[in-house]
Amino acid sequence: MTDIKIKITDRDGVLHEIDAPTDMNMNLMEVVRSYELAPEGTIGICGGMAMCASCQCYVVSDHELPEMGDDEEAMLSEAFNVKDNSRLGCQLHITEDMDGLEVELAPEEV
Amino acid sequence: MIKTDILIIGAGPTGLFAVFEAGLLKLKCHLIDALPQAGGQCSEIYPKKPIYDIPGFPEVLAGELVDNLMEQIKPFQPGFTLGERAETIKKLDDGSFLVTTNKGTEHNAPIVAIAGGLGSFEPRKPLLENISKFEDNGVAYMIKDPEVYRNKKVVIAGGGDSALDWSIFLANIASQVTLVHRRNEFRGALDSVEKVQELKNQGKINLITPAEIISLNGDDTLESVLVRKISNANEEILLEVDDFIPLFGLSPKLGPIGDWGLEIEKNAIKVNTFDYQTNIPGIFAIGDVNTYPGKLKLILCGFHEATLMCQSAFQIIFPDKKYVMKYTTVGGVSGFDGSTKEAPKAVVKAIE
Ligand SMILES: Cc1cc2nc3c(=O)[nH]c(=O)nc-3n(C[C@H](O)[C@H](O)[C@H](O)COP(=O)(O)OP(=O)(O)OC[C@H]3O[C@@H](n4cnc5c(N)ncnc54)[C@H](O)[C@@H]3O)c2cc1C
Ligand code: FES
């Protein structure tokens, strides 16, 4: 299997069900960017280095995801609008285990 | 009023290299940047990270690349207006442009090159209800003049290098420094963390972790902040303060340039690929800030765009002069400071 299904609710509340490749070394932030689910310049500002939190999302489904690394935990501790189910999209690499994952993009920090 | 040939908005790698290319054509440049230092994303987001795709540099730290660019453009003596955001633009009767910053500094040039990248870097402001009320009345997101805090009670919030560095610096200036962070761990340079620990042990820094500021109080100016410890007890501490400095990093915003009447697509300025001019003649957009079919946001592409832009700028400023591109190996580099660089000529000696 090379594609999985992911449900992403964008910042306007619109739900998108998309196919995400598992064989392209992509992370969730990059998937959101490739489907243009958030305007350019509002997501992935640090390029995926866990340094900006522009890719924060809330994990709605109960998938078991890889544990947070130190960088992700540190960034989320300084980000705004953080909830218990917050993750940084750029730190979630797309794998087959994520099939059916449901996430919601956190609001853009203004 | 600052007058120049090409006014460059944005001192990132693209804007800096444009100074060099303009200099070869004997055009003077002045740069405006919202950040207090040059270098754009390279300096602000990833100065210590290596870049691997700059031609001729198998590996170069982003900060080093900026230092090299600054060295390379030194002979062309660019002017800088740093720490100010270009806010408005006006076309004057003589066809030149007047660009004014948020601090009121005026710049005049026949050519404007927007090299604004992702936009001007603005502080990430914590979501505290009345924070805007206290801006410049006790709340500041950047420290410009540390002397302002002499003998004051200061609270700093954040867990990165800036929060650590300023806590250390102000420990010897302010009458009291409190550092509040949501975690016990800080993500800054190890020696800064150790220094804060040392200053805490000496009683020079009051460290409250894991904790967060939950409200700001005062009539006209800030008088106190309420800190909540993040623990089971959720203990609350009311701190009397003169100044609150949240240091949660910066985030880029296209900002006022978006209202200059330029054609915008997906948060970027539309340009042609002949010379990267916008829909307004005389205003160019180069580097990450522009868009055209096939655009790639890479440093290399910004350099290329800056080079082509300068050729057209030259023709607009000197419509009657013809310029023929010269290789620097052949023509050398003559700075405005009188310096010259050229390839050494081979010595021809007669053979008897
Ligand atoms: C983490 C990360 C890693 C990267 N790695 C690479 C890499 O390996 N290779 C590569 O080629 N590229 C890389 N990039 C992309 C590269 O950094 C950008 O392409 C490059 O910085 C663009 O340069 P620029 O000069 O066009 O814009 P920027 O570097 O964004 O500079 C723009 C400047 O304009 C200023 N500005 C904007 N608006 C205003 C205004 N109104 N008034 C005053 N100032 C203003 C901003 O403050 C900023 O300093 C990376 C980017 C990031 C974030
Ligand atoms: S893209 Fe910056 S933290 Fe994920």
Pocket-forming residues, ligand 1, beta carbon under 6 Å:
A 46-47, 49; B 9-15, 32-35, 40-42, 45-46, 51, 53, 85-86, 115-121, 255-257, 287-289, 297-300, 302
Task: Give the CATH number, domain containing residue A27.
Answer: 3.10.20.30
The answer to whether B157 and B130 are in contact (CB under 8 A) is no
Asked if the structure places residue A28 within a domain, the reply is: yes
B222 and B116 share one domain: no
Which atom of ligand 2 is nearest the CA belonging to A46?
2
Contact map slice: B 140-199 vs A, CB within 8 A:
158-160, 181-183, 185, 187
Tell me the helix, strand and coil percentages in chain A, rounded to 5.
Answer: 20, 25, 55
Query: Are A8 and A61 within 8 A, CB to CB?
Result: no
Task: Identify whether B352 is part of a domain.
Answer: no
Alpha-carbon distance of B178 to B184, in angstroms, equals: 14
- The reply to whether A53 falls in a domain is yes
Per the DSSP assignment, residues forming a β-bridge with B29 are: B6
Size of interface A-B (CB pairs under 8 A): 56
The answer, yes or no, to whether residue A76 has pLDDT greater than 70, is yes
Sign of CA dihedral B141, B15, B22, B331: positive
Cβ contact (<8 Å) for A109 and B126? no
Please tell me the number of the ligand nearest to residue B252's CA.
1
Whether A30 maps to a domain, the answer reads yes
Residues having CB within 6 Å of any atom of ligand 2: A 29, 44-46, 48, 50-55, 75, 88, 90
Overall residue count recorded for chain A in this entry: 110
Residue A93 in tokens: 């690499």
Q: Is the ipTM beyond the 0.85 threshold?
A: no
Interface test with A, best of B187, B213, B299 (most A CBs within 10 A): B187
Using DSSP's 3-state secondary structure scheme, residue A90 falls into helix
Those residues with Cβ within 8 angstroms of residue B330's Cβ, 6 or more apart along the chain or in another chain: B343
Is A77 an interface residue toward B (CB < 8 Å)? yes
Judged by a CB distance cut-off of 8 A, whether residue A81 touches chain B is: yes
Q: Does the beta-carbon distance from A39 to B45 stay under 8 Å?
A: no
Which of B230, B246, B262 is a domain's end point? B246
- CB–CB of B236/B228 below 8 Å? yes
Q: Which domain holds residue B211?
A: 125-246
Q: Are the beta carbons of A39 and B267 separated by less than 8 Å?
A: yes
CATH of the domain at B101: 3.50.50.60
Residue tagged 């220094």 (tokens): B195
Give the containing element (helix H, strand E) for A52: none
Q: Say if A110 falls within a structural domain.
A: no
| Same domain, residue pair B111 and B32 | yes
Residue B178 marked ligand-binding: no
Its pTM stands at 0.88
Structure tokens at B315: 């023709």
Could you say which of B246, B275, B297 is where a domain stops? B246
Same structural domain, B265 and B293: yes
Q: Would you state the structure tokens that stand for residue B246, as one six-digit string?
A: 């949240």
Q: Is B222 in the same domain as B306?
A: no
Let me know: does B313 contact B22? Beta carbons within 8 Å: yes
d(CA B175, CA B240): 12
Distance from CA of A46 to the nearest CA of B (A): 7
* Cα-based distances in Å from A87 to A24, A47, A68, B168, B343: 21, 16, 8, 31, 55
- For residue B33, give the ligand 1 atom closest to its CA: 44
Taking the mean position of all CA atoms in its chain, how far away is CA B162? 15
Question: The domain containing residue A80 runs over which residues?
Answer: 3-105
Alpha-carbon torsion (B253, B258, B262, B263), positive or negative: positive
Residue B16, judged by CB atoms within 10 A of its CB (0-12, 13-18, 19+), counts as buried
Last residue of a domain, one of B221, B246, B271: B246
Divide the 352 residues of chain B into consecutive groups of 10 and give the mean pLDDT of each group.
98 98 97 94 91 97 98 98 96 97 97 95 88 93 91 96 94 96 89 94 95 94 94 87 93 89 93 98 98 96 98 96 88 93 78 77
Two tokens at A28? 């969730």
Q: How far, in whole angstroms, is CA B305 from its chain's centroid?
A: 20
User: Token match 């995400």: residue?
Assistant: A20
pLDDT at B187: 85
Q: Count how many domains chain B has.
A: 2
Task: Give the pLDDT confidence score for residue A1 in this predicted structure.
Answer: 61
The per-residue pLDDT for B348 is: 67
pLDDT at residue A3 above 70?
Answer: yes
Q: Residue B244: its pLDDT value, please?
A: 97
- Residue-wise pLDDT tens digits, A29-39: 999 999 999 98
Q: Does residue B140 sit in the same domain as residue B237?
A: yes
Residues B89 and B6 in one domain: yes
Tally of domains in chain A: 1
Question: Is A86 among the domain residues?
Answer: yes
Cβ within 8 Å of residue A40, ≥6 positions away: B266, B267, B268
Q: What percent of chain A has pLDDT over 90?
A: 79
pLDDT number for residue B323: 85
In degrees, rounded to 5, the angle at the alpha carbon of residue B121 between the alpha carbons of residues B107 and B136 is 85
* A41 vs B119, B124, B159: nearest CB: B119
3-state secondary structure chain B: CEECCEEEECCCHHHHHHHHHHHHCCCCEEEEECCCCCCHHHHHCCCCCEECCECCECCEEHHHHHHHHHHHHHHHCCEEEECCCEEEEEECCCCCEEEEECCCCEEEECEEEECCCCCEEEECCCCCCCHHHHECCCECCCCCCHHHHCCCEEEEECCCHHHHHHHHHHCCCCCEEEEECCCCCCCCCHHHHHHHHHHHHCCCEEEECCEEEEEEECCCCCCEEEEEECCCCCCEEEEECCEEEECCCEEEECHHHHHCCCCEECCEEECCCCCCECCCCCEEECHHHEECCCCCCCHHHHHHHHHHHHHHHHHHHCCCCCCCCCCHHHHCEECCCCCEECCCCCCCCCCC
Chain A residues near residue B254 by CB distance under 8 angstroms: 41
Shared domain check, B23 and B75: yes
Q: Do B251 and A54 touch (CB under 8 A)?
A: yes
